[in-house]
Each structure stands twice: as structure tokens, then as C-alpha cells.
Amino acid sequence: ASINGIEIHNLAEQDSSEKLLYSGELWMDGVRVGSFREGENDEMQLDVMAEYGEKVKEKISSYLQALSDGDDDQSEEGLSDEIFLEDLIELELYLQAYRQGIEEGYNCLLVNYTNDGVDVFSVESPDDVEDIARDNNLTDFQTFYEPEHFIINC
């Protein structure tokens, strides 16, 4: 998974009694450029090597600008780097689920967004997506059919 060329490697769940927290490495252009760690109080610790700091910041800002352009209620200033990392973590988790589904003989991944969270379905064929959406009253969903769908550039 990649957003503007930034990838997560070695995504790991951290020990936490309260909720699921992640840590991992950040990579860009095949090079490790930093790391991140989620904290217990919803803070995200981002450590980027100094020589990559400006380039990483540009890529994150470009993504946040694209998000704010698509949402009239949100300005880029109202979005934090944490949004970028949360979206990248989410995309990486979906990619892992997609790969597992492919190994198990499924064809694609359907992700439905609700007020209560996210529902993820491994789907046998593209024709089944419409049936699952209709049968489960899905209204806000994405379908991932190939690995390139986990790459966002803006």
C-alpha cells in the first residue's frame, strides 16, 4: 500500500489494554525514511530522518490538500499528519486482507464504511459485489480488484 510514494513496512500491533495500536517503518522510493508509533492517548509519534523530512512533509501535505479539496467541511489546516498515517495504516491492512483473500481463492475485497466502523468482505467474483451490496444494504463502499488499487497518488 502506498500514498504518494510513502509505504508502511513491518506493520505491527502493539501491546495495549485499551485498544488496537500500530507501529511500523515508513519507506519512500525503496529506502527506509522513518517510523511511526501510535500512543495510548490517540497521539501518533512520527519520526522521519532529517534528510527526508521535507520530501515526506510535501507528500503528506499533497495528500491532505487532496482530501480537503474533496470535502467542503474540511480545510487542509484542519487535517493533521495523523490522518495521513491512519489512512496509510488502513490501506495497508486492506492490502493484507486482499492478499489473504487471493490466497484463499477469492477475487476481490469489498470494504464498507459505516458510522460504527468498517465491514470487510472477501468476494469470490466481481459479479458477487453487487449482490453483497444489495443484500447487506451497503451504501458507502469500495471494491479492490487488484494490487494497484492500494496505491494512491495525488
DSSP conformation letters of 80-144? -HHHHHHHHHHHHHHHHHHHHHHHTT--EEEEEEETTEEEEEEES-HHHHHHHHHHTT--SEEEE
What is d(CA 75, CA 64) in angstroms, rounded to the nearest whole number?
A: 9
What is d(CA 134, CA 152) in angstroms, rounded to the nearest whole number?
A: 27
pTM summary value: 0.85
Task: Kindly report the backbone phi and psi dihedral angles of residue 80, in degrees, each rounded to the nearest multiple of 5, phi listed first.
Answer: -110, 165
What is d(CA 140, CA 133) in angstroms, rounded to the nearest whole number?
A: 9
Q: In a structure prediction context, what are the per-residue pLDDT tens digits for the chain, which is 154 residues long? A: 999 999 999 999 877 666 778 999 999 999 999 999 987 776 888 999 999 999 999 999 999 999 887 555 554 455 688 899 999 999 999 999 999 999 999 999 999 998 888 889 999 988 899 899 999 888 899 999 999 999 999 8
Residue 150: all three cell numbers together: 492500494
Q: In what order do the strands lie in the sheet with 2-3?
A: 44-48, 31-38, 21-28, 6-14, 2-3, 151-152
Residue 26: all three cell numbers together: 515508513
